[in-house]
Structure 1
């Protein structure tokens, strides 16, 4: 049964049910809010946004790590009708300017910096007018829609409000006025906008409604059997659906406690899980790999862990087995989807067999349709035959912001969202994701699916992680490149890898090129950027196209 409720009303409902229960815990900062306290601070911030003259439907961008103000802003904007535009924490000036202009955001919240990125400096570079304007009166030549910049920090910044200013300004708006605004919001209206990574072409703003993400959060929680007694450690970034839908929203939907990690650090995650007795842990495969291989792992008491989600990219079988057996997360679930589907389409459940959990991405959520089609003819394929996965139902986005042509290419006239992912489905409805349409390697007429080769190489005892990428070849069109991370303390040679493959996989699937690397180029949401691995290899091996700027 789907719910027709806005995010603001959902928070009010949960706060009414569990007012004294812990809603939000930042163990790093000693910050703890009950649901009643969290509701109150969100209402206050909502009035603060309204005091700036922000109307229902205006776009409010946030560029920050998983700080408390991020999750407060998520619910505050949802209560006053602002559309929260989430900004990737790894963006730089060009990407930020594009997003703010394309989204027509009128307000930007930001922290000082992250890693080696000076956020404040970049915003000043794009908007030099900040140096001499009053907060709230920005008139930017490059960003004509942007009026308000709000700094999440203590030190006064020219032309910007401080977060505390926003909270203080809330006194200018009556609570009755905020309530009246919240009552005008409808479940089917857009309330969240997330930009796709843009690895091919310009990023697109995915428009998601209250109904899209509330119902997806509920289904995600149901698959984990989350309840008010659960405590969910959330080290995945809020700017991605994994953090702000599957994480914070799933907690509010069930009364579970949100236990975010401001920025991912494997040792910190293990410490927080142990000290806060978290019952659920989220992560992409690379995060779980880092935690399993952290020097302190063996000393940690992780016995409170019961469930969680591994998602965001294809989940290696060996990693999944280690999470179940070494971390003890017996009810771990695998979720699959994409931002355009709010995000989860399929998910395993706790009582699925270990084989189901390591070999599939589960079955479709209740209320969701899916099919596997021939990407050329559009014909629905029978079980066991590989094709493109399509989905339909409440979870399909409202479209790409100001991009009707791109929307029409992704959602067909019958309402099916075309994922671009290759998949098979078995007789019992369990899906296997076998790769991306665009990642498929065609070597001399033979189709090679990277996932298949990756799963084989994961069985090598010295391989920690591996990514298979297609690289150009003048004779065969493409060849196979293996980018390998070796387990700490182990050694591995190119010949070792080739010998391991010989006689076990078809010769045309054996990597022609092997690179040993320490880290993969990643998006801030933990997705490996295969197109960059391809670029590196083209130059490193002097392959065709090495002198051009063409990318995958």
Structure 2
């Protein structure tokens, strides 16, 4: 397949950081939906204000440029707002694998020096904040829950709305100045490896490098404004974070988070939400191809697939085109 190099060079020529990307995308894409999570929808025009609200609350918490802030939770619209908000505050994102145990997450928090963690109230039948509260004191760490939490209140923890209420002590203008001061050479994130062959290692990335690399990704795939991107790949991984929601912001596409992969749910969402972009590992597509309702499912909206991280038999690519209807299929080895 020939790659279309005549595509609009886009926002990447105008910005050098994720905070600046959000402001530029608001001007360029206006009323297009940036984040759609269930009934909650945020337009590109409103995204800067929503993100600055998070940033202002973090500044009120005492977060300063260069501080580390972690996120330990499933894909959601609030995950994206928390990430953009902390980066607007000049902080460094530390994504934590949701499959880690609390003691493993605590090690990442300690090693990164994170002062605050956004987490989830209940996920995979686990009380993430409650488990962390056993390992830290309120003086060591603050926890903000992105979703409602069951159980007894924790001194270390506050809910999303209580957290956002703190923004009122910080004016939007000063928060915007901090956000616009974040540039290409500032650290955007500190991502830890899985630790399968040794102790997890922290890998540092800078804003400018992300913008440049994933602008190429967006252009190569042909993601365009108005595309609807179901992000099944976890946000704690670069596939869901940088090739996921950051790429949507670069393209003007809609971010539709998926908390966990469920073949029934994903198949239904493709039809109901008119999904056009659906990346994932080979097992995701194999599960869809083996689904008993595949023949009756409406997959006509699907256009772009991205797969990799495992062996990809040629027959899988053929079946993805023929049975799932993808027009563009990209693997770790390039377009096919």
Q: If the length of structure 2 is used for normalisation, what is the TM-score?
A: 0.91
Question: Does 1:57 find its partner at 2:54?
Answer: no
State which of 48, 52, 55 in structure 2 corresponds to 1:43: 52
- 1:28-86 Cα offsets, whole Å, 9 max, x none, are x2121111122221111111111101000100000000022101112111211111100
Which residue of the partner structure matches residue 314 of structure 1? 311
- For the structure 1 residues 74 and 315, does the alpha-carbon distance in structure 2 shift closer, same or farther, using more than 3 Å as the test? farther
CA shift at 1:147, angstroms?
3.0
Which residue of the partner structure matches residue 211 of structure 1? 208
Which residue of the partner structure matches residue 275 of structure 1? 272
- 1:137-158 Cα offsets, whole Å, 9 max, x none, are x23xxxxxx4321122335533
Equivalent pair of 2:193/2:203 in contact (CA under 8 Å): yes
Which residue of the partner structure matches residue 147 of structure 2? 153
Q: In 2, Cα distance between the equivalents of 1:176 and 1:12?
A: 14
- 1:267-312 Cα offsets, whole Å, 9 max, x none, are 1111111111111111111111112112222221101111121123
Which residue of the partner structure matches residue 197 of structure 1? 194
Deviation >4 Å, runs of 4+: 1-4
Q: In 2, Cα distance between the equivalents of 1:118 and 1:298?
A: 39
CA shift at 1:105, angstroms?
0.8
CA shift at 1:98, angstroms?
1.4
Q: In 2, Cα distance between the equivalents of 1:308 and 1:168?
A: 40
Higher RCO, 1 vs 2 (CA within 8 Å, ≥6 residues apart): 2
**Bigger share in strand:** 1
Q: In 2, Cα distance between the equivalents of 1:157 and 1:15?
A: 37
Q: In 2, Cα distance between the equivalents of 1:329 and 1:19?
A: 28
Which residue of the partner structure matches residue 334 of structure 2? 348
Which residue of the partner structure matches residue 112 of structure 1? 121
Which residue of the partner structure matches residue 15 of structure 1? 26
Q: In 1, Cα distance between the equivalents of 2:192 and 2:321?
A: 33
Equivalent pair of 2:248/2:255 in contact (CA under 8 Å): yes
SS state at 1:313 partner: coil
Q: In 1, Cα distance between the equivalents of 2:309 and 2:124?
A: 22
Q: In 1, Cα distance between the equivalents of 2:248 and 2:154?
A: 34
CA shift at 1:226, angstroms?
0.9
- 1:234-279 Cα offsets, whole Å, 9 max, x none, are 1111110111111101110111111221221111111111111111
SS state at 1:120 partner: helix
Equivalent pair of 1:106/1:147 in contact (CA under 8 Å): yes
Instruction: Note the 1:256-271 alignment, pairs <5 A.
Output: 256-271=253-268
Equivalent pair of 1:216/1:245 in contact (CA under 8 Å): no
Which stretch of structure 1 is more off in the superposition, 113-122 or 301-310? 113-122
Equivalent pair of 2:19/2:182 in contact (CA under 8 Å): no
CA shift at 1:14, angstroms?
0.8
CA RMSD of aligned residues (A): 1.7
Equivalent pair of 1:14/1:253 in contact (CA under 8 Å): yes
Q: If the length of structure 1 is used for normalisation, what is the TM-score?
A: 0.56
Equivalent pair of 2:33/2:42 in contact (CA under 8 Å): yes
Equivalent pair of 1:274/1:300 in contact (CA under 8 Å): yes
Q: In 2, Cα distance between the equivalents of 1:120 and 1:78?
A: 22
Q: In 2, Cα distance between the equivalents of 1:93 and 1:226?
A: 37
Which residue of the partner structure matches residue 6 of structure 2? none
**Which 5+ residue runs of structure 2 have no aligned equivalent?**
1-8
**Bigger share in helix:** 2
Equivalent pair of 2:130/2:154 in contact (CA under 8 Å): no
Q: In 1, Cα distance between the equivalents of 2:180 and 2:29?
A: 22
Which residue of the partner structure matches residue 86 of structure 2? 77
**Which 5+ residue runs of structure 1 have no aligned equivalent?**
130-137, 140-145, 336-346, 350-356, 358-552
SS state at 2:45 partner: helix
Question: For the pair shown, which has the larger CA radius of gyration, 1 or 2?
Answer: 1
SS state at 1:311 partner: coil
Question: Does 1:288 find its partner at 2:279?
Answer: no
Equivalent pair of 2:19/2:180 in contact (CA under 8 Å): no
Q: How many residues align?
A: 322
Question: Does 1:323 find its partner at 2:320?
Answer: yes
Q: In 2, Cα distance between the equivalents of 1:186 and 1:180?
A: 12
Which residue of the partner structure matches residue 106 of structure 2? 97
- 1:409-460 Cα offsets, whole Å, 9 max, x none, are xxxxxxxxxxxxxxxxxxxxxxxxxxxxxxxxxxxxxxxxxxxxxxxxxxxx
Q: In 2, Cα distance between the equivalents of 1:73 and 1:311?
A: 28
Equivalent pair of 1:214/1:245 in contact (CA under 8 Å): no
Instruction: Note the 1:82-481 alignment, pairs <5 A.
Output: 82-127=91-136, 129=137, 138-139=138-139, 146-155=140-149, 156-335=153-332, 348-349=334-335, 357=336
- 1:510-538 Cα offsets, whole Å, 9 max, x none, are xxxxxxxxxxxxxxxxxxxxxxxxxxxxx
Which residue of the partner structure matches residue 490 of structure 1? none
- 1:72-114 Cα offsets, whole Å, 9 max, x none, are 1121112111111000010003311211111111111110232
